[in-house]
Amino acid sequence: MTVRSSDFSKSDDERFWHQIPALEEKLEKKKKLWEERRQKHLENRRALWERKGTRRLDLSATPFAYVKSVDLAEGFLFEYGPEPESRAYNTPSARERFFIEHFGYRMRTGKLTQPDAQVNGALMERQFNAWLKERGVLRGRRLEVDKDYYREFIGVDDMVGNKIDEGWEWLRKRAWDKDDPLHEGYSVMLEELNRRFDYHARIQLLEAIKAPHVVERAKKHIALGRKVVLFHSRIKGGTVHPFHIFHERTGRPPSDLLGTMDTDQLNQWMASADAYNRALADFRATRADLINLEINQCRPLDLFADAFGDALTFYNGTIKKCDKVANPNAFNDDDGSVSIIAVQDEGGKEGISLHDTTGKSQRVLMNLGLPLKPTQAIQIEGRIYRVGQMSDAIFEYISTGTSFERWTFASKISQRSGTAENLALGEEARALSEAFVDAYENANSDAPSLQQGKGGKERDRAGMEAITPFEKAKTHYFGVQKNNKRRSRREGVDYFSTPEPVSFKMVEWANMRSNESTLEPSAGHGAIARYFPEDVSSTFVEPSSELLSRLALRAPGRHRQETFEDLSEAANKFHAIVMNPPYGSGGATAMAHLGKAMHHLRNGGRIVALLPEGPAANKKLENLVYGKDGERERLEKRIESKGGKGVAEEKRRLHQLDNFYVMADVGLPPVTFERAGTNVKTHVVIIDRYDDASLVPYQRGRIDLEADNVNELFDKIEGMAAPERADIPMPPAEVLAANELKVEQQGDEWILTGKTFEMKDAIKPIIKKHSGEWDQYGKRWRALSDPSEDIANLLQGKPMEGVALPSDKSAAADGSAGTAFELQQTRHAKKDIDLFVASMSARVSRDEYIRLKGIAKRHGGYFSSYKKNGAIPGFQFESEASRQAFIDAAVGGETKFSRGGGNWQEVVSSFRRLADQHDANLLNQSLVDYGLGKE
């Protein structure tokens, strides 16, 4: 429908109002036509159901591409439900309510809008899939094939890839070392490398690095009598040398770069030129090995063509239409000369069959790219794993094992799985992503053999078995190879990976709540981070690029490559912190990290820390939490002696001593870290912050666990619970911030800004209570006292003293009684007479305004929006009696009409009956006032 009379009813330009009746008449006709067709559709569906005829079955790997495409299934798989009886402002329709309940959408300014940032859309999409399955209208069906398959990542140890890794890390260290005199210039170089060597450039480089290894491996498969399907992502191919992108900065930037810059970026580019050029000169002098690094810049497809000649054919978007049939047929011909086909993934992920139908030539699918979209990867694998295949299928993904490849993979795979996957597979979508990550992490370098192609179906069945999350954590633990390296050779500094079942329990004991901010400092490779819930806002800090890139595969969130010591305390506050810090000598480093974590913790928050045990470490922990002898008194005296000034550190330390409580202490046996190659004695300490001591819940004492092996330990901790975290009332400022509002004091006034439009009717009496008003020019609310607490109470549904909120607007939605007035008195600036004003306490619809304007005119009044020189906006009357008569008529003493809701003839007749009270001109004006006539 293209008729939108609502646009005119919202207009402030009276020139358009006369168009509304005609537009609404058109709209009613279209609504009537829509309703007639809908009723016929419903009758048809009812007849089909009663007849029990052929039912509909839809088969699709990804039935819903986007959330709103579920509209297509309404009436078949589910119903939106009944429409509401009345549609007040922001009241959702049946469809809108469905999207709010199932996908977290919201109503804003009368429209259905996207969920806010706090809504976990991926989780809601998977729950919608589960809801459809519970109703019996959706089921997942896996391909049933007699033959087996196996999926694996093949690791290639490439000197060039490792050298790029090392060079990137070298640049990063020079850029982050603030003591380096060239730090500023190297920072600009690193920024330029990250910007110009983006995701697409990295994919091209990775394919260029892998291509020679793929050629050699494909030849070995062909020698075993197999045929190879080689998938690649880029047709253009080739690559750019990452260390050849730097050039001296003289004058203005190159034209290709200049076109992407705004004024600020251009000025910054010019200002940093000197520092950049000095760093570049140093780089060229000290790292000639990186500049001279030989990288295969040949297009992979050209490399394959040279290596395989006539034995290679292609399938992509650039070949002729006839070749799209001929080339796969030539490949599938057992007696032909073609033994390898190169397929571009977007062009060949569906619609072609390349499987072995005779049993003569087993198929190998080698993927030069990364499985960034799991469902697409399954579709690609389906080119050789199909009904009718006569041999086991082999899937190989090539991995360089480099950090920059892991970052490239993690930037996509660790993001919450896509809408199409979630709506199609539900919880299986996440499991599918995890399966690819597990395979990537366990890449092997085994040569092609006749034993390949077995075990995939069995592994799938094992993965589908219903096990508890804790049991799954145990499989993660036993799936990691025992570390037998010397400590000095391990990844990271003083790094002991937390056993996964212990990690799982630590996260569980943190009692993280939806939408809370959470932190893991010194996060390692993600043994703890992987168990953080999806519906929290997570930050992970780890200085090692190697470890952080592995963590990014497992845990979405904010990944900070820096030391915990460098993380800003003021800008990073958290509700829950789970940590296994580096220990240091006698636990010194661990206690320093714990002390810093306490400064990052919000009121009511919790720290769960895995700490070393021993006389020195235990004493340091006791001193940190409870203070040294006489420490509190010394701090208080120092603060008092300095008059409370210049004693920020003393106050911070006193706050630690007064507001942090040990809620539980669980001693772990020496076997805990046996798989990490150490028998260090540790314990898990749970510490809460409560600024109000009366809120502190029950504190549990020390528990020591004994176990001869890790299985015994895991059995003991599986059912253990931690004390609950108390509910802490949010400070008003946080409540406002969560609702995108802000109150700031400016001089003697408090200014409210943010998204206030939707709640303006409720905010207005609060601001009035605080002697304030709406600032039309500044587009903000002003008050003479702080309204934060009252607005926070409003947002939380709490009562507010001295504030009467307006009633539900639904009663007045049709233009009937319901408008509230504020009675005030002023003086006309020019006539010098008293004016009695009835100001509307809230904005009304255009229909209601026109109705009130007509009533005011009949009682000798008029509406004025003028507010300067002491004037008060509202309906103006020259006597108090006229104003009262207007209010009586407006509130319920006079017949009311709605332009959209009544019968035209009835309305006109009603006015005609009043003709004896009007002259002709006044009657016509009344019709115009009600939108029923023309000027």
| Equal CATH topology for 149-159+206-239+297-466 and 482-718 | yes
Supply the pLDDT for residue 557: 87
Report the DSSP pairing between strands 702-704 and 660-668.
parallel
Is residue 689 within 8 A of residue 659, CB to CB? The reply is yes
Q: Structural domain boundaries of the chain?
A: 1-55, 62-119, 149-159+206-239+297-466, 482-718, 732-805, 815-896
CATH number of 149-159+206-239+297-466, picked from 1.10.10.10, 3.40.50.880, 3.20.20.100, 3.40.50.300: 3.40.50.300
Supply the pLDDT for residue 934: 43
Supply the pLDDT for residue 906: 42
How distant, in Å, are the alpha carbons of 625, 863, 883, 884, 897 from that of 855?
72, 11, 10, 12, 12
CA 476 centroid distance within chain: 26
Supply the pLDDT for residue 72: 82
Q: Which residues, in sequence order, are bridge partners of residue 775?
A: 780
Sign of CA dihedral 866, 867, 868, 870: positive
> Distance between CA 829 and CA 877 in Å, rounded?
14
Q: Which residues, in sequence order, are bridge partners of residue 749?
A: 746
**Domain 482-718 belongs to what topology?**
Rossmann fold (3.40.50)
- Neighbour tally for 287: CB within 10 Å: 17
Amino acid at 528: I
- Neighbour tally for 824: CB within 10 Å: 13
Closest CA to 610 of 535, 523, 690, 536: 523
Q: Which residues of the chain have pLDDT under 70?
A: 1-17, 45, 48-55, 86-89, 117-118, 237-238, 256, 413-417, 462-466, 479-496, 758, 799-820, 841-843, 845-847, 891-935
Which residues touch 698 (CB under 8 Å, ≥6 apart)? Answer: 723
* Alpha helix segments (H runs only) across 878-917: 880-888, 904-913
DSSP 317-336: TTS-TTHHHHHHHHHH-TTS
Dihedral in degrees, nearest 10, Cα atoms 675, 677, 683, 684: -50
Is residue 581 within 8 A of residue 543, CB to CB? The reply is no
Which residue's structure tokens are 């009718």? 388
3-state helix, strand, coil in the chain (%, to 5): 45, 15, 40
Amino acid at 5: S
Supply the pLDDT for residue 812: 33
DSSP 464-477: HS---HHHHHHHHH
Give the model confidence (pLDDT) of 673-690 as tens digits: 887 777 889 999 999 999
